[in-house]
Each structure stands twice: as structure tokens, then as C-alpha cells.
Amino acid sequence: MYFESHAHYDDEKFDENRDTLIEETHAFGVDTIINIGADMDSSKKSIELAEKYPYIYAAVGVHPHDVKTMVDEDIEALRKWTEHNKVVAIGEIGLDYHYDLSPRDSQRYWFKRQLQLAYETDMPVVIHSREATLETYEIIEASPVRRGVIHAFSGSADFARKYIDMGFYIGVGGVVTFKNGRKLVEAVAETPIERILIETDSPYLSPEPVRGTVNNSQNLKYIVQKISEIKQIPPEIVAKVTAENAKVVFCL
């Protein structure tokens, strides 16, 4: 029923119950999960999870928080991993100017390098952008990459349209259910359902009414329900269409 386009089941928050939770989540109706790399170690662990479960696939990449330690050899390791039959994207990559855990020049440099890698390997990208909306867009626009998802979209409806016009999809997660999520609600209202992916970002960003708990993909039901309310589309149609969208993005 549901296609989870962005989760981190390799996270230490799942160390005590990872296998049980993944199996329960699949039984609940989450048919496919993309486990997202955030650094070299988590990218490797994502592949290992994908090898263990037929319904899990991996994205490999280095999050802007961690690019400060990247070296050229990491690009070549990522390139090699893209040859794995369960690796379906480069990500998550991008810019994060909220925490600035890596210098901004370093973020820009490795974002561009990983975009180029995605182009060279014909992989879609999973884009992270926080407090860097315009610059993220400009870097992508200047690149040759035209396939992927803008994860945890936080921009305006206008920027959503700009990304869609470039060929990208909009990732919608728990924030759409928040009381202060008005801007995302407006973007979802203006975005065709055919260009939306659903995600939880587990274990982060749990939606209402379970906000503050460790997130998991079963909570996609709350995100689907909210999108259903915004767009006046039955929830089962939201789940079906967003799953079809994700299959297109990740070539599954």
C-alpha cells in the first residue's frame, strides 16, 4: 500500500528492535522502503539492510553535515556502490545552513561533486536543503541532473513548481501535519499529486498525533491522511499514486 521514500533504519535509535520493527512495518502495509545514506558508514549499512530485506533499497551519499571529512576516494567508493543492484539513488546530498556543521564552501563543493556523480552513474538524487532554498535550487539548476526528490520539502509553492518543471518530485513528510507547517500545506495544495512522494525520515520528524516519539514508516498513514484532506483525494488514491511516483523516480 505505502512506499516509504526516505527512512534511516540503520540509525542507532533502532538498535534494540530494528528487525522486528521492519518486519512489522512491512506486514502493516509498507511495501517498499528506501533506506537513505547520510555518510559513508550509513551508506554501507543501507546496502546491508537492502541485501537482507527484498523490499528495502538503498541510497548512498554524504549529508552536508558530514562532507567536512569527505575525500576523493569517497566519491569512487560511492561510484562503486552504485553498481549494486539494490542501490537506487545518490543521497541524501545538499546544503544545510541551519547547523553549518560543515563549512559552507565544503558543502557546496561536495554537493556539486555528488550531483556530477549522479549524472555520470545515471542515478536519481535525494536532496537535503535547510535554510538554503535558493542556493540549493541554483546549484541543481546549473547541474545536468534532472531526476530525483527534494526531501522534506520546506520551500514555497513557487519553488515546488520550479523543481517540478526541472523534472523533480516533492518529498512530503510529517511536517505537513504540524501546526506550523502552513507553508508546506500550501505547497502540497499547489503540487500535482503525480509529483509527490511520501516519507517519514524515520526515526525523525514524527507526524501529529505521535510527534515527539521515535518515528517509523507505519506513520505514513498520518501523512497520507493529511494530503488526502488538503487535496480532497481519497487516502487510498494518495497512497497508490505516490507509490507509483516513487517507482518512477527510483526505477523500481
Quote the pLDDT of residue 215: 98
Quote the pLDDT of residue 182: 95
Give the count of beta carbons closer than 10 Å to the beta carbon of residue 142: 10
Question: 78 pLDDT band (50/70/90 cuts)?
Answer: very high
pLDDT digits (tens, 9 = 90+) for 93-128: 999 999 999 999 999 999 999 999 999 999 999 999
pLDDT digits (tens, 9 = 90+) for 203-249: 999 999 999 999 999 999 999 999 999 999 999 999 999 999 999 99
Q: Are 125 and 147 in contact, with CB atoms under 8 Å apart?
A: yes
Question: 73 pLDDT band (50/70/90 cuts)?
Answer: very high
Strand residues in 19-117 grouped as ranges (E): 30-36, 56-60, 87-96
- Strand partners for 4: 33
- The three cell numbers of residue 238 are 494518495
The mean of the pLDDT values for the chain is 98
Percent of the chain with pLDDT over 90: 100
CATH number of residue 7's parent domain: 3.20.20.140
Q: Are 121 and 145 in contact, with CB atoms under 8 Å apart?
A: no
Q: Are 153 and 170 in contact, with CB atoms under 8 Å apart?
A: yes
What's the CA angle centered on 88, arms 51 and 77, to 5 degrees? 80
Quote the pLDDT of residue 110: 98
Quote the pLDDT of residue 42: 98
Pairing of strands 2-7, 169-172: unpaired
Quote the pLDDT of residue 60: 99
Mean pLDDT in residue range 53-57: 98
Quote the pLDDT of residue 230: 98
Percent of the chain with pLDDT over 70: 100
Domain that holds residue 128: 2-249
Give the count of beta carbons closer than 10 Å to the beta carbon of residue 54: 10
How many separate domains does the chain show?
A: 1
- The three cell numbers of residue 43 are 551508506
